[in-house]
A and B are shown apart, each in its own frame.
Chain A
Amino acid sequence: MNRMLAIAWLRYRLMLNRLRRREGVWNLVGGVLLGLLWGAAALGAAVAVGFLMKAALAGGDQDMLFKLQFGALLAAMLAGVWLPLIIERGQAGPVTSRLLNFPVTGGELFWMSQAALALSVDHLLYYPLMIAVALGVFLGPGPAWLGMLVLVSLWLCILVWAHAVGLTLEAMLRGRRSREIVGVLTVVIIIAMGMGPGIVEKALRGRDPAEFPALTMGVDVLKTGGKALAPFQAAAGLQAVRAGETAAALGHLAGIWAWTLPGALLARWIFVAFYLGDRGSLRRGGRRPGASRPIMTHQALPWELRLDAGMLSPVALACAAKDLRVHFRSLSGRLILVLAPLLMAWIGWFVLKDVAEAALGLQVGEIHFFGMLFYVAIFANSQTTNNLSFEGSGVQAYFLLPGPLTQVILGKNLALWVFQAILLAVCLAALAVVKSWPDPPTLLAGVLLYAAIIVMRTAGGNVLSILFPRRRELSSRHDKTPLMSTLLGLLMFAATVALAWVFAVLPGLAGHPGWQPAALGFLLLISVIGHRWSLGAVAGLLEDRREPVVAALRKKEE
């Protein structure tokens, strides 16, 4: 018991210390406020459900009572299983894994860590709802002990599945590649959930759903599957208790345990395989035995060879080649390359086609195309405003190696530009699939406008990256850019878009719409000159701020 309490305490302590450490006092204040907000929401929901259940009990409205209890218990299950993953970012087990040094058996550690979950802050949040339902059990008819047995069984089921899902996810996230796969899948699922209803609604508009048998079948399957869920079984069990049907209640109780036992077995298996066994240790960075392979030396990429023929310095080229590799290897870079064309196609297909009139001094085709380019340009915001994020402690190399910092920054910017150019090309290809390309003058103007925005943003992003650096791991799913930097980056983006818009509109307003590409070309030219001019100052800033930059980037991502 003492050890279980110690584990529970450790989790609280680590959470509080993390709040205290990350951003100082304001983060702590923010954390406390957020905690109070969560607490108020949890208590408020419980009180509301409690009053509604009381009214339903008094009115004998069994149907309403069932719906309220099912809703409350489903919310509790979702909160119990998924909130820890969101709050602790899929790290349910780090506390456990560090306890293997202590003189406890694997079995003890498993049960202790599972029991400690019951006291963790993310599980406390749904307890008020469970207590409200429990009060309903005592106030309602039927044997209270049986109702409480149903509720306690559901609570155990939630704990067991929270443990199982947390451990499974953490085991999956140990490998960098699997972290990336999970990251991509998560984002794709979120986007599918966000866009899916809109796409289905558009597809079904004016048509009978019966024309889509797969859709109706899917809905039926979901309804049947939903009834098998543990919260539904619990709510049905409570209903049976109120009706005095003990046998039916016991049947639903068995239904809950039919979920609990596999959850416990899964948690136990993952725990044994990845914490106590050798599957985890194989993935902890050690070299795996295997046949010797020939020595791999660095292979130059085609663009590196071509760039070498140009006028850029070897230092800038080395930095550009390195950064480009890193952009393509980072999860965020890969996500951008996958999602940006998808979103562009979606925007082109669903959103901008509703714009049918010339406005803001631009023709319809220009509005469509430029609008989509602005969307594309928003991507890679964090790469621009936190462009040192992937360096980690490697940033020190820039200060140790004999390359001028102006060339280092130029190389990093060059990588961003090439990345953005590839992104634009992919998006244009996607656009060609769902719609068609605009006429050549609009296409040229659009590309110039896009390039000018990117160059201006990069110049501003260099400063923000040095002022607000934060480390990010290659496989990170989260945008780690500090809030202030994100805010300033967006303001900067809005300013550059407004400026680009002015240059795009002015020729038309002056009665010379044909001059638009020339005006945007001029904007691009002064952007490049401005960028080049700013490099010296940015290098000086980096030289001056080398210590806070190195300190910020050596900190492991939290």
Chain B
Amino acid sequence: MTHAIETHGLVRAFDGFKAVDGIDLQVPCGCFFGFLGPNGAGKSTTIKMLTGLIKITAGGAAILGHDVEKEALAAKRVIGVVPEDLALFDGLTAAESLAFTGRMHGLDRRTIAGRSGELLELMDLQDTGRKLVADFSHGMKKKLSLAAALIHGPEVLFLDEPFEGIDAVASRHIRKLLEGMTDRGVTIFLTSHILEIVEKLCTHLAVIHKGRLVAQGTLGDLQRGIGLDGDGAPRGARSLEDAFLGLVDAGDEPTRTLSWLE
């Protein structure tokens, strides 16, 4: 098997509007894959289809060879997800949330206790005690969601904006952790608006714009303008930001100003 994630003509339509319009993704095993795009481009919709949160309108997708619709449970056993809405239960504590997730993955109590202790310490959530998730700040919820996604040792990890709202210290810990995971063969599929982080972490990238995949390849490929679809791609771009802006038709736009601020 060469690809951790593979999609063929993946489509998702909402009332006739195609939010994702026939994308063909190939994510190699063990890579750190950045999935980029402007707001509303279809990033989260794609993740939701791949993780089974929403239905696929047309086309197909497989994770480690498991069809996400026909073999949904097998696919879910190997993935960990930090979705856009974090998927946490307000009525549980941090430790209970991890225990619930661990049990849903079939882990035994001793394993759950050991792993959740380590995860809570790593995420700096060890002091939360009896506090319910409902009373957590957004950053704490994000860290807990990430901890829940890791507890069963996933082979493919989907992270939708994982660093948004997380403090610098935790962010550094998490980055190191994720890099270590890819070193051990885990595939990470990440969306983020923070291009510096993507540039630092990701080995492979894809760019989606208006529901269509406009580029796919290694970080170096994209920076050099290789692996781009169509003719409008900016060849020889120097930074990821330049390459990205060129791909989403925003590179040549004149700087907009406000009349009363000129």
B155 CB to nearest chain A CB (Å): 13
> How far does the alpha carbon of A550 sit from the alpha carbon of B92 in the complex, in Å?
19
A394 touches B106 (CB 8 A): no
Residues of B within 8 A of A326 (CB): 89, 91-92
Tell yes or no: B252 within 8 A of A by CB: no
Q: Which of A390, A399, A402, A475 is within 8 Å of B105, CB to CB? A: A402
Q: Which A residues form the contact surface with B (CB < 8 A)? A: 176, 285-287, 290, 292-298, 300, 314-315, 317-319, 321-322, 325-326, 329-330, 390-397, 399-404, 473-475, 546-547, 550, 554
Of B35-43, B112-120, B192-200, the one touching chain A: B112-120
Q: Which of B53, B95, B129, B134 is within 8 Å of A474, CB to CB? A: B134
B129 touches A293 (CB 8 A): yes
Q: Which of A287, A298, A546 is within 8 Å of B113, CB to CB? A: A298
> How far does the alpha carbon of A285 sit from the alpha carbon of B132 in the complex, in Å?
10
Residues of B within 8 A of A395 (CB): 87
Tell yes or no: B239 within 8 A of A by CB: no
Q: Which of A317, A325, A400 is within 8 Å of B51, CB to CB? A: A400
Q: Which of A286, A402, A547, A554 is within 8 Å of B137, CB to CB? A: A286
Tell yes or no: B52 within 8 A of A by CB: yes
B121 touches A295 (CB 8 A): yes
A296 touches B76 (CB 8 A): no
> How far does the alpha carbon of A322 sit from the alpha carbon of B169 in the complex, in Å?
31
Tell yes or no: B203 within 8 A of A by CB: no
B95 touches A296 (CB 8 A): yes
Q: Which B residues form the contact surface with A (CB < 8 A)? A: 51-55, 73-74, 76-77, 79, 81, 83, 85-93, 95-96, 98-101, 103-106, 109, 112-113, 116-117, 120-121, 126-130, 132, 134-137, 140
Q: Which of A293, A314, A401, A474 is within 8 Å of B126, CB to CB? A: A293
B109 touches A300 (CB 8 A): yes
B91 touches A397 (CB 8 A): no
B127 touches A292 (CB 8 A): yes
B88 CB to nearest chain A CB (Å): 5
Residues of A within 8 A of B54 (CB): 546-547
Residues of B within 8 A of A554 (CB): 85
Residues of A within 8 A of B103 (CB): 314-315, 317-318, 321
B258 CB to nearest chain A CB (Å): 19
B140 touches A287 (CB 8 A): yes
Residues of B within 8 A of A318 (CB): 100, 103-104
Residues of B within 8 A of A396 (CB): 53, 83, 85, 87
Q: Which 3 A-B pairs have the closest CB atoms?
A: A298-B99, A318-B103, A394-B89
Closest chain B residue to A396 by CB distance? Answer: B87
> How far does the alpha carbon of A295 sit from the alpha carbon of B127 in the complex, in Å?
7
Most chain-A Cβ atoms within 10 A of its Cβ — which of B53, B103, B112, B129? Answer: B103
Most chain-B Cβ atoms within 10 A of its Cβ — which of A293, A298, A322, A393? Answer: A298
Given A296-B95, A297-B117, are A400 and B81 neighbors across the interface (CB < 8 Å)?
Answer: yes
Q: Which of A287, A293, A295, A397 is within 8 Å of B101, CB to CB? A: A397
Closest chain B residue to A403 by CB distance? Answer: B104
Q: Which of A298, A314, A330, A397 is within 8 Å of B96, CB to CB? A: A298
Can you list 13 A-B contacts (CB < 8 A)?
A286-B137, A287-B140, A296-B128, A315-B106, A318-B104, A390-B90, A392-B90, A399-B52, A401-B76, A402-B73, A403-B104, A404-B73, A554-B85
A297 touches B116 (CB 8 A): yes
Residues of A within 8 A of B92 (CB): 322, 325-326
Closest chain B residue to A404 by CB distance? Answer: B73
Residues of A within 8 A of B136 (CB): 285
Give the A-B contact count at a CB cut-off of 8 A. Answer: 134
> How far does the alpha carbon of A391 sit from the alpha carbon of B87 in the complex, in Å?
9
A546 touches B90 (CB 8 A): no
Secondary structure class of chain A's binding surface, majority of residues: helix
Residues of B within 8 A of A325 (CB): 91-92, 96
> How far does the alpha carbon of A290 sit from the alpha carbon of B131 in the complex, in Å?
14
Q: Which of A296, A300, A322, A397 is within 8 Å of B130, CB to CB? A: A296
B42 CB to nearest chain A CB (Å): 16
A72 CB to nearest chain B CB (Å): 44
Residues of B within 8 A of A402 (CB): 73-74, 76-77, 104-106
B99 touches A399 (CB 8 A): no
A314 touches B129 (CB 8 A): no
Residues of B within 8 A of A286 (CB): 137
Given A290-B127, A318-B103, A400-B53, are A393 and B95 neighbors across the interface (CB < 8 Å)?
Answer: no
Given A390-B90, A554-B85, are A397 and B53 neighbors across the interface (CB < 8 Å)?
Answer: no
Closest chain A residue to B77 by CB distance? Answer: A402
B156 CB to nearest chain A CB (Å): 12
A326 CB to nearest chain B CB (Å): 4
A297 touches B95 (CB 8 A): yes
Closest chain A residue to B124 by CB distance? Answer: A287
B17 CB to nearest chain A CB (Å): 15
B96 touches A322 (CB 8 A): yes
Most chain-A Cβ atoms within 10 A of its Cβ — which of B113, B134, B137, B140? Answer: B134
> How far does the alpha carbon of A279 sit from the alpha carbon of B95 in the complex, in Å?
28
> How far does the alpha carbon of A394 sit from the alpha carbon of B100 in the complex, in Å?
12
> How far does the alpha carbon of A546 sit from the alpha carbon of B51 in the complex, in Å?
13
> How far does the alpha carbon of A321 sit from the alpha carbon of B130 in the complex, in Å?
16
Most chain-A Cβ atoms within 10 A of its Cβ — which of B51, B92, B104? Answer: B104
A400 CB to nearest chain B CB (Å): 5
A31 CB to nearest chain B CB (Å): 27
> How far does the alpha carbon of A403 sit from the alpha carbon of B100 in the complex, in Å?
11
> How far does the alpha carbon of A396 sit from the alpha carbon of B47 in the complex, in Å?
13
Q: Which of B55, B90, B101, B120 is within 8 Å of A401, CB to CB? A: B101
Residues of A within 8 A of B73 (CB): 402, 404
Residues of B within 8 A of A404 (CB): 73
> How far does the alpha carbon of A296 sit from the alpha carbon of B85 in the complex, in Å?
25
> How far does the alpha carbon of A401 sit from the alpha carbon of B76 in the complex, in Å?
6
B126 touches A298 (CB 8 A): no
Most chain-A Cβ atoms within 10 A of its Cβ — which of B74, B91, B106, B120? Answer: B91
A295 touches B91 (CB 8 A): no
Q: Which of B89, B113, B126, B135 is within 8 Å of A391, CB to CB? A: B89
Residues of A within 8 A of B128 (CB): 287, 296
A329 touches B85 (CB 8 A): no
A394 touches B105 (CB 8 A): no
Residues of A within 8 A of B101 (CB): 397, 401
Q: Which of A300, A390, A397 is within 8 Å of B87, CB to CB? A: A397
Residues of A within 8 A of B117 (CB): 295, 297
> How far does the alpha carbon of A340 sit from the alpha carbon of B96 in the complex, in Å?
29
> How far does the alpha carbon of A243 sit from the alpha carbon of B159 in the complex, in Å?
78
Closest chain A residue to B108 by CB distance? Answer: A314
Given A293-B129, A397-B89, are A176 and B53 neighbors across the interface (CB < 8 Å)?
Answer: no
A222 CB to nearest chain B CB (Å): 40
A442 CB to nearest chain B CB (Å): 37
> How far does the alpha carbon of A463 sit from the alpha carbon of B91 in the complex, in Å?
23
Residues of A within 8 A of B98 (CB): 298
Residues of B within 8 A of A317 (CB): 103
Residues of A within 8 A of B95 (CB): 296-298
Residues of A within 8 A of B85 (CB): 393, 396, 550, 554
Closest chain A residue to B73 by CB distance? Answer: A402
